[in-house]
Amino acid sequence: MKRLPSILLGLLIFGCTETSETEVIYLTDKQNDTCNTCAFSLVDYYSINSLDTLPSTYTGTPANGSLNHAKILPPKGKNFFYFDSTSYLKDRAFTHSDIRDIVLNTYANLDVIYPGRIFSIMEASNKKGGKMDPHRTHQNGMSVDFMFPKLKNGVPYHHLDTLGFLHYLLDFDENGRYTKDTTISIDFETSTHHIYLLALEAEKLNYAIEKVLIYTEYKDELFRTTYGKKLKQKGIYFAQYLTPKINNLHDDHYHIDFKAK
Ligand SMILES: [Zn+2]
């Protein structure tokens, strides 16, 4: 994110649990809200929210839709974790059952290709879909935000990955370098490979990537990579123009909308 725009107005750091630094809550909730679900561990929360095994259904579009029988993403797996515990406990890690499978199958592939590398899922959808501030989309279980994997001096680097919701506020320059420490940068090779694998796994379940939102100034870096070229050949659509506000929000993560074929 280039500046601290209005998204910051929607955030308030609070101490939901004993670890407070990365805990965030939306001001759209009651400011004095206490976290009634904090007694649960994320794994417990995952378990009690995984009882509905019916296939998910959705209505509408990512920008105006709803979701039924949504599935919560696991809080962690062998090579991935959900980025923010408060977001998780506020039911913002739900998605369509098929999209969950695409996401998890892709992580299984990544684990073989990049052993030891850890990836992070950012926000998905609400349990019932619908509006999820401050996102404009994410309404029907077809949208997922993925944290950019990063490098420091060319070596995989994960220390910024545990900031929780504050990760959305990190600021990278037009070449993907972290502005507070330019030895840290976006790993475009791994990111584009991840997107390519998501596209392949989506095809297996009769889905496709409808759209990728990434900070548009990254275009040269993206399509210079091995898998960026393949994504281009495959015709994966990257949004060409975003409003400055939306564009600035997408320098730390890639947003993907899926669609049923
Ligand atoms: Zn998004």
What domains sit in the chain, N to C, each tagged with a CATH number? 6-260 (3.30.1380.10)
Percentage, residues of the chain above pLDDT 90: 84
Confidence band of 9 (pLDDT split at 50, 70, 90) = very low
CA of 126 to the centre of ligand 1 (A): 12
Give the range among 14-28, 173-187, 196-210, 234-248 with minimum mean pLDDT.
Answer: 14-28
CA-wise closest residue to 79 among 123, 112, 117: 117
pLDDT of residue 39: 60
pLDDT of residue 20: 29
What pLDDT digit, counting tens, does each position of 133-174 carry? Answer: 999 999 999 999 999 999 999 999 999 999 999 999 999 999
CA of 138 to the centre of ligand 1 (A): 6
CA of 215 to the centre of ligand 1 (A): 12
Q: How many CB atoms lie within 10 A of CB 148?
A: 28
Contact 133, 122 (CB under 8 A): no
- Is ipTM > 0.90 here? yes
Which residues, chain by chain, have CB under 5 Å from ion ligand 1?
145, 255
What pLDDT digit, counting tens, does each position of 46-80 carry? Answer: 999 999 999 999 999 999 999 999 999 999 999 99
CA of 246 to the centre of ligand 1 (A): 10
Residues 6+ apart with CB under 8 A from 198: 102, 103, 106, 209, 256
Average pLDDT over residues 169-191: 98
